[in-house]
Amino acid sequence: MTAEARRPLPVLPGLDSVRHVHVIGVCGTAMGTLAAMLAERGFTVSGSDAMAYPPMSTWLEARGLTVQSGYAAEHIPPHTDLVVVGNIARRDNVEAVAAGERGLPCVSLPEALRVFFFPGRTALVATGTHGKTTTSAMTAWILFQTRRDPSFFIGGVTANFDANYRLGSGTPFVVEGDEYDTAYFDKVPKFWHYPAKAATINNVEFDHADIYPDLDAVRHVFSRFAAQIPRDGALWVNGDDDTALACAAHARCAVRRFGLHADPAASALDLAGAALRTHEGGTDCLVARDGLVHEVTLPTIGDYNLRNFLGAAGLASEVGVTLAEACAAIGTFRGVKKRQELKGVVADIPVIDDFAHHPTAVRSTLAALRMRYPTRRIWAIFEAKSNTSRRAVFQQAYAEAFADADIVVLSQPWKKDDLPEDQLLSLPRLVADLERAGKEVHLIPDVDAIVDFVAPRARPGDAIAGLSGSAFGGLHQKLIDALKSR
């Protein structure tokens, strides 16, 4: 469970006197991104990680950062002014202990963002259990295309920028608002730290079962986030999600609703959309605000991506972007890596990578792929690896999530020793449930065995989706290579 309030910031040296920042856990995606941003701003940055190896270590070194392998007190240079502690570090981390003994101020990642990057900027924060990465990326691209020169900090690599951060000279700063906690000394959701002038709540579901006991706890942190937006700000909320609306009711600022409606112009929503037709190039839609209807072709598939666009257009409108401008800009949006990302096509077999691991995300992604490939046989290869996906709490939900797949392949889940057996997702039970629903299902223990099974059986006209919250052991490229060598 998270703490009830943000801690007071420690006494920091004057920001104009900070020269050297040390980052503990620097090879995590978010921490490495922060380190690169600090270096780009002119700070000397060092860092350490227990897993200091490529690609993140080389990516950081290419940006002039010194990366130490493992944790040791001597890895913190003597002239360090400030330490940023990643969520991977525990209280007994030797570098965290050493920083305390030396009297060095320590901050978490979102505290560092708040101190170094948000002052003087208009923070636009995209939140929600699902879709916040894509919504953030869409918002950033719309602002860039409309010459707002935004900064952004996003939890995925945007294809348009080939990056997950940017430091622009404009006022807007787009940030993905994560509800996960931050550091051992800062046990509140990251998004409580972000001074949002405008925000979205895309949806609210139970997730992050390792820190939240139930949906009520998740609702609480989103409600508190809504309440902290200033009165002169704005909150855009998914009007199709009752839980999100209940959280938004705690806001003091203007609350605007976006969502789907068969006749967008007639909708009571502030921003409404309807998907007209889907094709391999995207989705043709109508969207409307204040009764004015616009046609737009989204280069993405699925109702949830239309909602993501509506949220992004709402956020962008808070810094003056019209709906017409947003519709024009989104046509060149190229998506986010690991979000329905087409990794390659071999013998008319597309291989797709997607971050889906929560059952709602699995269901929505497969529904979108069914819309994109209505006549193809769809393989869904799923890895239950994240803290939530491998827990029994979603046992029944997963049994329903694969409705749009023809063949399901389940990988053996990664298991932490401290998770009791009765709290683990039962893959044999999931196999039985899916078979009762008429699915062809295979439980295969590791990635290489999956590749050996799928590659000779896939046929031209199939579509293969690897669904995982991780790199999935290189599954996608291994499949592409195996299909090429058949």
Q: Tell me, what's the pLDDT at 145? A: 98
- Within a domain: 452: yes
Share of the chain above pLDDT 70, in %: 98
Residues 86 and 158 in one domain: no
Distance CA 466, CA 306 (A): 23
Q: Are 446 and 310 in contact (CB under 8 A)?
A: no
Share of the chain above pLDDT 90, in %: 73
Sheet of 341-346: strands edge to edge? Answer: 341-346, 349-354, 463-467, 378-382, 407-411, 440-444
Distance CA 76, CA 103 (A): 12
- Domain of 98, CATH number, reads 3.40.50.720
- Domain of 321, CATH number, reads 3.40.1190.10
In the predicted model, what is the mean pLDDT of residues 49-72?
84
Residues 405 and 436 in one domain: yes
* pLDDT higher than 80, residue 477: yes
Q: pLDDT tens digits, residue range 368-394? A: 999 889 999 999 999 887 777 778 888
Over the chain, what HEC string results?
Answer: CCCCCCCCCCCCCCHHHCCEEEEECCCCHHHHHHHHHHHHCCCEEEEEECCCCCCHHHHHHCCCCEEEECCCHHHCCCCCCEEEECCCCCCCCHHHHHHHHCCCCEECHHHHHHHHCCCCCEEEEEECCCCHHHHHHHHHHHHHHCCCCCEEEEEEEECCCCEEEECCCCCEEEEECCCCCCECCECCCHHHHCCEEEEEECCCCCCCCCCCCCHHHHHHHHHHHHHHCCCCCEEEEECCCHHHHHHHCCCCCEEEEEEECCCHHHCCCCEEEEEEEEECCEEEEEEEECCEEEEEEECCCCHHHHHHHHHHHHHHHCCCCCHHHHHHHHCCCCCECCCCEEEEEECCEEEEEECCCCHHHHHHHHHHHHHHCCCCCEEEEECCCCCCCCEHHHHHHHHHHCCCCCEEEEECCCCCCCCCHHHECCHHHHHHHHHHCCCEEEEECCHHHHHHHHCCCCCCCCEEEEECCCCHHHHHHHHHHHHHCC
Residues 129 and 198 in one domain: yes
Residues 315 and 351 in one domain: no
- Within a domain: 5: no
Q: pLDDT tens digits, residue range 80-128? A: 999 999 998 999 999 999 999 999 999 999 999 999 999 999 999 999 9
Q: Tell me, what's the pLDDT at 384? A: 83
pTM comes to 0.89
* pLDDT higher than 60, residue 1: no
Distance CA 450, CA 395 (A): 22
Q: Tell me, what's the pLDDT at 436? A: 93
Q: Are 391 and 425 in contact (CB under 8 A)?
A: yes
Residues 371 and 445 in one domain: yes
More confident position, 379 or 210 = 379
* pLDDT higher than 90, residue 421: no
Residues 207 and 277 in one domain: yes
- Please state the length of the chain: 486
- Within a domain: 172: yes
Q: Which domain holds residue 162?
A: 115-330
Q: Tell me, what's the pLDDT at 413? A: 63
Average pLDDT over all residues of the chain: 92
Residues 250 and 125 in one domain: yes
Q: Which of 62, 85, 107 marks a domain boundary? A: 107
* pLDDT higher than 60, residue 249: yes
334: pLDDT confidence band, cut at 50, 70 and 90?
very high
* pLDDT higher than 90, residue 53: no
Residues 219 and 269 in one domain: yes
* pLDDT higher than 60, residue 417: no
**Cα–Cα distances in Å, from 374 out to 279, 371, 378, 406?**
10, 5, 9, 12
- Within a domain: 6: no
- Within a domain: 169: yes
For 448, what's the count of Cα atoms within 13 Å in the CB-facing half-sphere? 0
- Within a domain: 8: no
Residues 453 and 305 in one domain: no
Question: 48-62, 231-245, 332-346: lowest mean pLDDT where?
Answer: 48-62
Distance CA 236, CA 201 (A): 6
- Within a domain: 148: yes
Q: Tell me, what's the pLDDT at 416? A: 57
Residues 124 and 86 in one domain: no
Q: Tell me, what's the pLDDT at 226? A: 98
- Within a domain: 52: yes
- Domain of 348, CATH number, reads 3.90.190.20
In the predicted model, what is the mean pLDDT of residues 182-193?
93
Q: Which of 62, 81, 107 marks a domain boundary? A: 107
Residues 195 and 48 in one domain: no
415: pLDDT confidence band, cut at 50, 70 and 90?
low
Residues 136 and 96 in one domain: no
Total number of domains constituting the chain:
3
Q: Tell me, what's the pLDDT at 424? A: 82
